[in-house]
Amino acid sequence: MNQESSNHETPAAVPQAVVKTKKSFSIVWLVPLVAILIGGGLIYKAVTEKGPEITISFKSAEGLEAGKTKIKFKDVEIGQVDAIDIGKDLSQVIVSAELGKGTARYLTDKTRFWVVRARISSGAVSGIGTIFGGAYIAIDPRDDGKTARKFVGFEEPPIISTEEPGRHFHLQAEKLGSLQQGTIIYYRQIRVGKVESYALAENGLNVDIQIFIHEPYHKYVRKNTRFWDASGFDMTLGADGIKINTESMLSIMSGGLAFANLTGFEEDEPAEDNQIFILYDSFDDAQQVAYSIKSYWKLIFKGSVRGLSPGAPVEINGMVLGEVTDVDLQIGDDISDIGVSVLIETEPERLARESGFPNVEAQRKFIDSLVAQGLRAQLKTGNMLTGALFVDMGFHPDQPAEKVVWEGKYPIFPTIPKSSEEFLAAVEKFAHKLETFPVQEIGSNLQAIVVNLKKTTQQISTAEVGSIIHNVNSLTGQLSASGVDELVKNLNKTVEDIGVLIESLNTGGDGEVVATLAQTQKTLSAVEQMLRSDSAFSQETIRALKEVADAAGRIRALADYLERHPNSLIYGKGE
């Protein structure tokens, strides 16, 4: 064991290792660091520069394409459509789009979107540029509402943009007629505005029409301005001939509105924004003075009212007092008691006197006094071609006395039959009298007269009869030869001969014969007085004959001219 230990040498001392430390940062780490910085910058830039994302719902995606369709404002691109999806209920399409930076403040609940594509309407042609460039979505930005990101797009472009200066107004009409979005509004035949939209009123009784009047024309809309439907044209036939009133040829074809201020109201205060006006059917209706008080009356007619319909005018002395509102059949307890109940609406302010009425009782007394003087309601024909009737309030003092029945829901005003019914009643009355006329008795009397005349001719001598006939023949001959004066002389001679004959018969003739001849003498004497040259009858007869002769001469000359120039009936008389 000692030997083994001696065989091993003691090892030399081992040197210590020297540890050298390297630098802690390596240039290799710069690559990922730079990448992180660049990526962060890109993310920051993307986040800060990215515009708002919105969704717009439309009924159809016609002309739209994801990734291509642009969103524009004043033809400047501010966004793009990213995706187009079908709505959950399949009734619409959802368009997802991204807008540019800085547009967020203009995305409110009042902002409007619509698709611009080629459109042709009665008023104008728009969107022609989209035929080649494709459809795009237009925006009407608003910053005066609540922030929104979901919108419902318009199917039609708005008529007026938000930035257009002017004022909005509302019109109330009984019916829409030929009006539509974009219908032009005229003032003194100048285009000053358009119809923006229309909708049925909540009460369902009228149509609410929203219009816009451009600046500076909106200042001419006063608080008492009257609007009317200017579609087509109004034609009136008056003493000066036919008058046609229209705003323009465009309004005749596609409709239009117009407004004006009544005389004396031109300097009224301008109307406020969104003020409501009444839309009248025509210019004439718009010019009528508006009355606030309405009163209703019931009229009962026993005859036919064919041609009378609601809306027919009620007139007094040719001036409109109101209109018919209802026509209804009225049957009493007796089946023969059938009448027609006509309800009319009147404006009593038209009948108001200068002093007015202190109360309702005074007004009733005034109407009762008019009825006592003969005021009655009567149906008259207003149009001979159509047979349309109207109610005429006129005075008929010869009618039996009647009174207004004030009791009941509506007071009953007295009426009289139509003029045609009065005529038929008069004819019926005459026929009844004719039936009771003693025709047989008159025939018997005429037969007795003939017998007496026969006796008279038998008693008159032949010479006397010949003398009378000679005088009568002489009378007719002298009428054509010597004129009226000779006729009077012959009448005198005839009367004298009859007088001599009567004297001769008085001595032994028949009394009836003498009476007959005396009456004949009296008649001829009256004829003599009438035919004297200085009598009015003679003068008028001569004048009438001269006028007839002159007219005959003119007709003869006209006939000769037409025979020589028949074409004058077409071309007129030449110079």
SS (H, E, C) 204-258: CCCEEEEEEEECCHHHHCECCEEEEECCCCEEEEECCEEEEECCCHHHHHHCCEE
For residue 530, is pLDDT > 70? no
The pLDDT score that the predictor gives to residue 441 is 67
Question: Cα separation of 456 and 517, whole Å?
Answer: 9
The pLDDT score that the predictor gives to residue 218 is 92
DSSP category for residue 449: H
For 385-394, how does the pLDDT look when each residue is reduced to its tens digit (9 = 90+)? 788 899 999 9
- Asked if residue 394 and residue 299 are part of one domain, the reply reads yes
Structure tokens at 471: 């005088």
The pLDDT score that the predictor gives to residue 480 is 45
Q: Last residue of a domain, which of 400, 429, 458?
A: 429
Whether residue 157 is contained in a domain is answered as no
Which residue has better confidence, 238 or 228? 228
| pLDDT interval class at 144 (50, 70, 90) | confident
Q: Which of 557, 502, 546 is nearest to 524 (CA)?
A: 502
For 44-55, how does the pLDDT look when each residue is reduced to its tens digit (9 = 90+)? 776 667 789 999
Q: Which domain holds residue 353?
A: 295-429
For residue 440, is pLDDT > 70? no
Beta bridge partners of 113: 139
H or E segment and range at residue 376: strand 375-381
Beta bridge partners of 392: 315, 378
Question: Cα separation of 280 and 288, whole Å?
Answer: 10
- Asked if residue 526 and residue 413 are part of one domain, the reply reads no
Structure tokens at 286: 């718009």
Q: How many residues does the chain have?
A: 575
Question: Cα separation of 95 and 458, whole Å?
Answer: 125
Structure tokens at 305: 């009212």
For residue 332, is pLDDT > 90? no
| pLDDT interval class at 450 (50, 70, 90) | low
The identity of residue 194, as a single letter, is K
Which residue has better confidence, 511 or 539? 539
- Asked if residue 547 and residue 511 are part of one domain, the reply reads no
Which positions ≥6 away from 179 have C-beta within 8 Å? 173, 195, 198, 209, 229, 231, 255, 257
Structure tokens at 537: 């009858």
Mean pLDDT value across residues 379-384: 84
Residue 163, CB-side half-sphere exposure with 13 Å CA sphere: 6
Question: Cα separation of 72 and 225, whole Å?
Answer: 39
Strands 70-73 and 76-86: antiparallel
- Asked if residue 299 and residue 422 are part of one domain, the reply reads yes
Whether residue 246 is contained in a domain is answered as yes
Q: Which range (431-435, 474-478, 529-533) has the least confidence?
A: 474-478
Q: Tell me the three state secondary structure of residue 298.
A: strand
Mean pLDDT value across residues 429-458: 59
Whether residue 29 is contained in a domain is answered as no
Question: Cα separation of 387 and 420, whole Å?
Answer: 13
H or E segment and range at residue 85: strand 76-86
Mean pLDDT value across residues 530-535: 58
Which positions ≥6 away from 136 have C-beta within 8 Å? 69, 70, 71, 72, 115, 116, 130
The pLDDT score that the predictor gives to residue 469 is 46
- Asked if residue 305 and residue 247 are part of one domain, the reply reads no
Which residue has better confidence, 435 or 466? 435
Q: How many domains does the chain have?
A: 5
- Asked if residue 545 and residue 530 are part of one domain, the reply reads no
Q: Are 417 and 302 in contact (CB under 8 A)?
A: yes
The pLDDT score that the predictor gives to residue 130 is 76
| pLDDT interval class at 421 (50, 70, 90) | low
Whether residue 447 is contained in a domain is answered as yes
For 343-381, how does the pLDDT look when each residue is reduced to its tens digit (9 = 90+)? 999 887 776 555 566 677 888 888 899 999 999 999 988
For 59-80, how does the pLDDT look when each residue is reduced to its tens digit (9 = 90+)? 999 889 999 999 999 889 999 9
For residue 119, is pLDDT > 50? yes
- Asked if residue 65 and residue 119 are part of one domain, the reply reads yes
The identity of residue 519, as a single letter, is Q
Q: Last residue of a domain, which of 128, 152, 176?
A: 152
Share of the chain above pLDDT 90, in %: 26
User: Phi and psi dihedrals of 111, rounded to 5?
Assistant: -70, 140
537-540: long-range pairs with CB below 8 Å, 24+: 538/484
> What distance lies between CA 254 and its chain's CA centroid?
17
Q: Tell me the three state secondary structure of residue 507.
A: coil
Q: Last residue of a domain, which of 249, 269, 287?
A: 287
- SS3 letters across 555-568: HHHHHHHHHHCCCH
- Asked if residue 325 and residue 423 are part of one domain, the reply reads yes
The pLDDT score that the predictor gives to residue 112 is 92
Mean pLDDT value across residues 519-530: 59
For residue 10, is pLDDT > 60? no
Q: Are 361 and 369 in contact (CB under 8 A)?
A: no
> What distance lies between CA 309 and its chain's CA centroid?
15
Whether residue 147 is contained in a domain is answered as yes
Residue 426 burial (10 A CB sphere; 0-12, 13-18, 19+)? exposed
Question: Cα separation of 415 and 344, whole Å?
Answer: 13
Beta bridge partners of 338: 331
> What distance lies between CA 42 and its chain's CA centroid?
70
The pLDDT score that the predictor gives to residue 160 is 84
442-450: long-range pairs with CB below 8 Å, 24+: 449/516
Among left, alpha and beta (phi > 0; psi -120 to 50; other), residue 574 is beta
| pLDDT interval class at 444 (50, 70, 90) | low
For residue 237, is pLDDT > 60? no
Whether residue 495 is contained in a domain is answered as yes
Structure tokens at 99: 């807008």
Q: pTM surpassing 0.75? A: no
Which positions ≥6 away from 274 have C-beta within 8 Å? 168, 169, 170
Whether omega for the bond prior to residue 411 falls within 30 degrees of 0, making it cis, is no
- Asked if residue 384 and residue 497 are part of one domain, the reply reads no
Whether residue 19 is contained in a domain is answered as no
Q: Are 277 and 172 in contact (CB under 8 A)?
A: yes
Which residue has better confidence, 331 or 404? 404
Whether residue 502 is contained in a domain is answered as yes
Question: Cα separation of 476 and 467, whole Å?
Answer: 15
- Asked if residue 174 and residue 108 are part of one domain, the reply reads no
- Asked if residue 312 and residue 240 are part of one domain, the reply reads no
Which residue has better confidence, 172 or 458? 172
- Asked if residue 396 and residue 302 are part of one domain, the reply reads yes
